[in-house]
Every structure is written in structure tokens, then in C-alpha cells.
Amino acid sequence: MSVLNETHDPALQSWVTSANQAETDFPVQNLPFGVFRPRGSDTAFRGGVAIGDRIVDLAALQAAGLYDGQAAQALQACTDTCLNRFMAMGPKAWSALRLALSRSLRSGSAHEAAIRACLLPQAEAEYALPAQIGDYTDFYTSIHHATNIGRLFRPDNPLMPNYRWVPIGYHGRSSSLNISGSDFKRPQGQIKLPDAEQPVFGPCKRLDYELEVGIFIGTGNAQGQPVPMEQAEAHVFGLCILNDWSARDIQAWEYQPLGPFLSKNFASTLSPWIVTLEALAPYRSAWSRPAGDPQPLAYLDSEQNRSQGGFDLQLEVLLETAQMRKQGQAPFRLALSNFDHSYWTVAQMVAHHTVNGCNLQPGDFLGSGTMSGPQPGSEGALIERTKGGKEPVVLANGETRTFLEDGDRIIMRAWCQGDKARRIGLGEVSSTVLPAA
């Protein structure tokens, strides 16, 4: 588990002026990793680090020859078209490069002139998935979301009996994971209305978003070798934002007995920057179980997890309709939640995923599941907010929504903020719904 060090000092300033603004997601205390290239170019994608409104081109930095030792080795791995090789190097290499970058980007650094030549405005970049994602598992870790969904179908018994014992997850489709800005066509499939004798084929009419936290695996584990709780976070490279789009009417017809299929595999959208667990260290929080709930089995428990297994990470969903865009109106906030509402922690997800001998690999991806909170307005999906489509949301411009319409753009943001540390943001993820093919 990451501990505080010199890179977290809230007094640190950067010679990149935009990194010193109070509202930036990317101060010198953050330094998230991604993959980019100049917009419109045919050059290869390569690793980059966000600082203020700029990107440090890590391939150009490597060519400058400023670093040595472990930081230089880690930097060389970031010149690939994806970050898998860097992820596989482990926490010591990740931390060594982050420390070197922190010192180079601080005010007064002797490296300022050399690194200025390696900067690109984020507005002039295009992004790719930061890793080759071999496998994707989506969890179901918000008890508030699980309860809200359960009430729609089982009002008297919303939670399944295994929920408080097992971190529930299912195997997702990695090929349809896309980077922020990747718009997608409304999915089609079989839909059966409750009073119909047979299903029909057509476009989804109950399209929904899901507000999730994405978790990138760094170092893997050998097949047959479970990862214990005490070591679980050493296998996690960092976090991003995930919108796991869902076709609720297709899902209702197909999900029994084996779970979601076409209702989930058409598109999921990720934010481009991965914030390392080390950068999030000032915002770790204690984790506990509510009184009366069963305590986790031994393989899902540790003192370390109880003392700081959580993350005080705020999560926001905004909707921009086609009409809002045309009239220049600001997006409407649909939800504000927090990753601290998670019933299961990141470490518990990793430990449970591997306890049967499953081997995770560098670049594998986990979704937290929809992150809903306990209060009205913290629902992480429209199906919850609208009570299954029965209570439309009235937007600020008078439009209403029960589910998403063509032209709707969903924007998700995430950040940590407090009095004793600099704001650390994950950036944003956005995508627009296009008409069905």
C-alpha cells in the first residue's frame, strides 16, 4: 500500500504554470500516465504524463537522456505504443519514474529547458487505450446500486443472499473497451415486453450509462498462485473512470440464467489517464462493514485493508443533450457519488479474482460496478434515478429523460480534494450516443 513521500508535498509548485491552478486535475503531485500522439498525425502512439494542461512526451524525454538507473529503464518502457511493459515492471519502477518526473517538473528544476521541448498541449493530442487489455472483469461492488436494482425486481428481498459474502463479478468484453471521445451507435438486439408473447428485434429503447471506477492491473500472478490481501495493491497500477454502457431492455430478456451478454458488450468508455495508487495516497480512507453485516472471510480481510483500503474519490455524471449543445447550455448534473461507498475494496477484488488460481496479467482491467451512494442524487445509473423509467428526470432546460436518447452526451469526472493535500483528478470520460445502424 502506497505511503506518503516527497512527491505528495502540497507545497510543491511546477514550472508548468497551469499545473499550479487550484482547479487543475493534474498538479505536479499527480502525474498520471496515458498513451497519446499529436492530433491528426500518423506518428506512433507513445506514453505520456499529464501535467496541468500539457503532456510530457515520454519518448522525447527518453531521447533527451536525463535519467539513469531504474527511472531510465522505466522511462524506456514508456516509449512503447502501450504501457503494458511498464506496468509489468512493478511498484518500485513505477515509483522511481514518478519521483524522477516530479523532481524534473518542480519549480527550479535544472531539467526545465530540456523538458519544455517535450511538452504538447492536451488540446492538441489524441489518445488511445493506455494498455493492451487482454481481459476485462466487471464487478458489482456498490451495495446501494445492488439494492436499488434489486428493489425494482424483488421489492421484498432486493439483495441476493451471496452479495454480502462474495465480490460479485462477470467476464466482460475487452474488444469493445474504447477511449474517451469514442462515440457509438445505439445497440440492437432482442427485446421482449412484459405483456408480449414473443420477443422482437430492434434498437435498444432503454439505453443507460453506468458510473464506474476502472482498475488497471500492473504486475500479474502465476496461474495457480492466489494473490493475498496484503500483496493485492502491489499488483494494481492505477485507476481511471469507466462508463459501462448498458441496454436495459436487452438485458432484461437475456440475463437469466448466465448474466449480461449483448446488453453490455457493445461499448464501454474509459478516461485516457491512469492515476497511480501512489498519487492517491493522501486520499486513502478506512474501510469497515456496517454493524450487523457479516465480516469478510479471512482471505478477504486484513488490517491494512481496514485501516486504509478505501478511496475518498468523488464521482460525477453530467448529461449534455443535443438541444443543450445547439443552444450553448451547460451540461446537467445527474449524479454525484463517491468511491468510498464501495462495499468491496480494490484489494478485495484482486484477492477474490485470483483466489481460485486465476492468473491476472499486466494491462488486465477491472470495473468497480456502478458506484451509487445512499442519498438521492447519488445514483450511478438512470435505471435507479428514474425508478426503472417510471419517474423521469426533469433537466434544467425543461427536457426530460427516463433513458438516453440519440445525441445525448454523457460526461463523467472524478477527483479527490481536501484541506491538507492538492486536488488529484482522474480527468473525464465522455461519449455521445449515435442512432442505431
* Residues recognised as catalytic: 145
The answer to whether the beta carbons of residues 78 and 58 sit under 8 Å apart is yes
DSSP label at 82? S
Positive or negative, the Cα torsion across 169, 413, 98, 33? positive
Q: Mapping DSSP to helix (H, G, I), strand (E, B) and coil, where does residue 118 land? A: coil
Amino acid at 66: L
Nearest to 245 by CA among 206, 210, 203, 202: 210
DSSP for 152-201 reads HH-TT--S-TTTTTS--EEE--GGGEEETT--EEPPEEEE--TT-SS-EE
At 290, list the grid cell.
456496517
The answer to whether the beta carbons of residues 213 and 275 sit under 8 Å apart is no
Cβ neighbourhood burial of 31 (10 Å; 0-12, 13-18, 19+): buried
Nearest to 390 by CA among 152, 196, 144, 156: 152
- Cα distance between residue 307 and residue 296, in whole Å: 15
Residue given cell 461499448 in the structure block: 267
Cβ neighbourhood burial of 257 (10 Å; 0-12, 13-18, 19+): exposed
Do the strands 177-179 and 46-51 form a parallel or antiparallel pair, or are they unpaired? unpaired
Reported as type and span, the H/E element at residue 294 is none
- Cα distance between residue 410 and residue 433, in whole Å: 8
Kindly list the distances between the CA atom of residue 366 and the CA atoms of 141, 187, 330, 335, in Å, as whole numbers in the listed order: 11, 23, 32, 22
> How far from each other are the two terminal CA atoms of the chain, in whole angstroms?
46
Nearest to 245 by CA among 108, 381, 80, 131: 381
At 391, list the grid cell.
419517474
- Give helix 69-77 / helix 91-105 axis angle, nearest 10°: 100
